[in-house]
Amino acid sequence: MAGTVTVPGSSVPSTPLLKDELDIVIPTIRNLDFLEMWRPFFQPYHLIIVQDGDPTKTIKVPEGFDYELYNRNDINRILGPKASCISFKDSACRCFGYMVSKKKYIYTIDDDCFVAKDPTGKDINALEQHIKNIMSPSTPFFFNTLYDPYREGADFVRGYPFSLREGTHTAVSHGLWLNIPDYDAPTQLVKPKERNERYVDAVMTIPKGTLFPMCGMNLCFDRDLIGPAMYFGLMGDGQPIGRYDDMWAGWCVKVICDHLSLGVKTGLPYIWHSKASNPFVNLRKEYKGIFWQEDIIPFFQNVTIPKDCDTVQKCYLYLSGEVKEKLGKIDPYFVKLADAMVTWIEAWDELNPATPAAENGKAK
């Protein structure tokens, strides 16, 4: 059957490929050799490559991939003065790719992430699992002890209210990593040899009201439902902080998803993370973030988005106001960030004019 991935000899319904509905966004400064390993899984899809760093350098894309590539000059040209909200010299620039995409779903992956193997030794088709996650409902209102009840072989357990078994739309599918785990700099320094070797065969919904550290290495989301909230902040060159781009997006996304009754899943699929970044460099980037997050987390835990914010953009603009007022006291960086959040929404709306029938993330 065209357009689907079939499991030979199995009665499991096949997962649709969604090749015309999903873009793969990859930030890179070096090269895209890693795509060779992903070729069997990624080749059907359109790639959006966001080239960070020196725009005069040519990034070689392996043959046979359908892609568009944007470097800093392109970003400046397309966004004009609004380009100031896109980070420079940091993989946070990938969110530009989210903005220019015209598809419903985005999958983003780092260029040091490879195909992992499951415990039987079989290659893991990460994209297929993300699609399964995002196309099945989430269950944020009550924790199911057997994890994702929509997975093959699982279900809701005894005691799960029937009125909650329809679930909510899934906005985000957060995958994990084998080998080099996503640790912060202090943990990397203390445990440089630790490798994540445990394959946890589960997907689960993160409960409503619970924040989590969202990693951008292996992430899939529904652009229609939550896209405007996936701003990866101001990081890198000229900024006091780095390696908090995905974290920031994750906190904003979760608060807005909770408000709009959308679901966030985490767990499978795993990818193989091959490169450990330099912990001393990381420490310098994360340093301020480690202290600031002590205030940032309570901020997100306590923020209440007003009922009349019924689109992602409205929620996000409300958040930016709160960031400026409440976090601006900690450091002027947050005032800049709040302004950038507004610029981002303006740029998003400009590049993605809403048709009356398709307002982003409208609550059910």
Partner 1 sequence: MRPPSLLSLTLDSALLHIAHIADLSHLPDHLVIDLFRRTLSAGKLTEKVLKLFLATGCEEIILAVQLLNIKQPIVPVLPTRCSESEVDIVIAALQPNLTTFFEAWRPFFSRFHIIVVKDPDMAENLQIPTGFDLKVYTKSDINGVLGASSINFSGHSCRYFGYLVSRKKYVISIDDNCLPVKDTAGSTVDVVAQHMANLKTPATPFFFNTLYDPYRKGVDFVRGYPFSLREGVECMLSCGLWMHNADYDPMTHVVKRNQRNTTYVDAVMTVPLGAMLPVSGINVAFNRDVLGPAMFPGLRLQNEGKHRWDTLEDIWNGLCAKVVCDSLGYGVKTGLPYVMRSDAEAGKALESLKDWEGVKVMDDVLPFFQSLKLSRTAVTVDDCVKGASWNCT
Per-position x/- string for 87-126, each x denoting binding to partner 1 as judged by CB under 8 A, each - no binding: --------------------------------x-------
Tokens representing 344 are 């981002």
- In sequence order, the 6+-apart residues with CB closer than 8 A to the CB of 5 are 14, 15, 17, 125, 128
Q: Which stretch binds partner 1 (CB under 8 A): 43-51, 68-76, 92-100, 206-214?
A: 206-214
- Residue of 355, 328, 354, 329 whose CA lies nearest to 339: 328
Q: In the complex with partner 1, which residue's Cβ is closer, 40 or 298?
A: 298
Q: Of residues 281, 297, 354, 358, which one binds partner 1 by CB under 8 A? A: 297
Number of alpha helices (DSSP H) and beta strands (DSSP E) in the chain: 10, 11
Q: In the complex with partner 1, which residue's Cβ is closer, 206 or 337?
A: 206
- Residue of 272, 269, 262, 179 whose CA lies nearest to 227: 262
Q: Of residues 5, 146, 276, 317, which one binds partner 1 by CB under 8 A? A: 146
Minimum distance, C-beta of residue 182 to partner 1, in the bound complex (Å): 5
d(CA 230, CA 319) in angstroms, rounded, equals 13
Q: Of residues 215, 219, 305, 309, which one binds partner 1 by CB under 8 A? A: 215
DSSP letters spanning 36-59: HHHHHHHTTSEEEEEE-S-TTSPP
Q: Of residues 283, 290, 317, 342, which one binds partner 1 by CB under 8 A? A: 290
Q: Which stretch binds partner 1 (CB under 8 A): 25-33, 239-247, 303-311, 331-339?
A: 239-247
What residue type is 216 in one-letter code? Answer: G
The number of beta carbons lying within 10 Å of the beta carbon of residue 36 is 12
Our finding on whether 287 is near partner 1 (CB under 8 A) is no
Whether the CB-CB separation of 47 and 24 falls below 8 Å is answered with: yes
By rule CB under 8 A, what count of residues binds partner 1?
A: 58
Q: In the complex with partner 1, which residue's Cβ is closer, 166 or 308?
A: 166
Binding to partner 1 in span 242-281, by CB under 8 A: 243-244, 246-247, 250, 266
Phi/psi at 170 (5° precision): -90, 125
Angle, CA of 33, 36 and 37, to the nearest 5°: 110
Per-position x/- string for 29-58, each x denoting binding to partner 1 as judged by CB under 8 A, each - no binding: ------------------------------
Our finding on whether 200 is near partner 1 (CB under 8 A) is yes
Our finding on whether 7 is near partner 1 (CB under 8 A) is no
- In sequence order, the 6+-apart residues with CB closer than 8 A to the CB of 2 are none
Cα 359–chain centre separation: 21
Our finding on whether 174 is near partner 1 (CB under 8 A) is yes
Minimum distance, C-beta of residue 152 to partner 1, in the bound complex (Å): 9
Our finding on whether 193 is near partner 1 (CB under 8 A) is no
Q: Which stretch binds partner 1 (CB under 8 A): 18-26, 28-36, 149-157, 348-356?
A: 149-157
Q: Of residues 16, 62, 207, 328, which one binds partner 1 by CB under 8 A? A: 207
Whether the CB-CB separation of 225 and 361 falls below 8 Å is answered with: yes
- In sequence order, the 6+-apart residues with CB closer than 8 A to the CB of 172 are 134, 214, 219, 220, 221, 222, 226, 253, 257, 263, 264, 265
Q: Of residues 183, 240, 274, 333, which one binds partner 1 by CB under 8 A? A: 183
Q: In the complex with partner 1, which residue's Cβ is closer, 84 or 196?
A: 196
Tokens representing 363 are 């609550």
| Footprint of partner 1 (CB under 8 A) | 119, 142-147, 151, 153-164, 174, 176, 181-184, 187, 191, 194-202, 206-215, 243-244, 246-247, 250, 266, 286, 290, 293-294, 297
